[in-house]
Amino acid sequence: MGRLDGKCAVILGAASKDNMGQVMARRFVAEGAKVLVAGRNEDILQDISVEIGGHYALCDITNREQVFALAASAVEKMGKVDIAINSTGWGLLKPFLENTEEDLEKMTKLQYIGPFFFYQAMLEVMGKGGSLIQISSATAKIMLNDHAAYMGTKAGTDHVIRCIAHEFGEKGIRANSISPGLTDTPMTAAAKETPGIFEAFDKGYPLGRINTSEDIAAAAVWLSSDECYMTGENLQVNGGLCLRGNPTSKDIQESVAKHMQS
Catalytic annotation present for 119: no
Q: 9-18, 29-38, 70-79, 183-192: which has the minimum mean pLDDT?
A: 183-192
The full 3-state SS of 106-141, as one line of letters, equals HHHHHHHHHHHHHHHHHHHHHCCCEEEEEECCHHHC
Tell me: domain 8-186+211-243, CATH 3.40.50.720, correct? Answer: yes
pLDDT score for 188: 86
How many residues comprise the chain? 262
The pLDDT tens digits of the residues spanning 30-83 come to 999 999 999 999 999 999 999 999 999 999 999 999 999 999 999 999 999 999
Whether 5 and 29 have beta carbons less than 8 Å apart is answered as: no
pLDDT value of residue 92: 95
Average pLDDT for 192-199: 87
Contact 123, 168 (CB under 8 A): yes
Q: pLDDT tens for residues 89-102?
A: 999 999 999 999 99
pLDDT digits (tens, 9 = 90+) for 206-232: 999 999 999 999 999 999 999 999 999
* pLDDT exceeds cutoff 90 at 110: yes
Indicate the DSSP class of residue 4: T
pLDDT confidence tier of residue 5, bands split at 50, 70 and 90: very high
Give yes or no for residue 235 having a pLDDT over 70: yes
**Higher-confidence position of 73 and 251:** 73
Catalytic entry in 56, 112, 119, 150: 150
pLDDT at position 262 over 80: no
Which stretches of the chain are DSSP H helices?
Answer: 20-30, 42-52, 64-78, 101-108, 114-126, 148-168, 189-193, 197-202, 213-224, 241-244, 249-261
- Mean pLDDT value of segment 159-184: 97
Q: pTM of the entire structure?
A: 0.96
Three-state DSSP class for 9?
A: strand
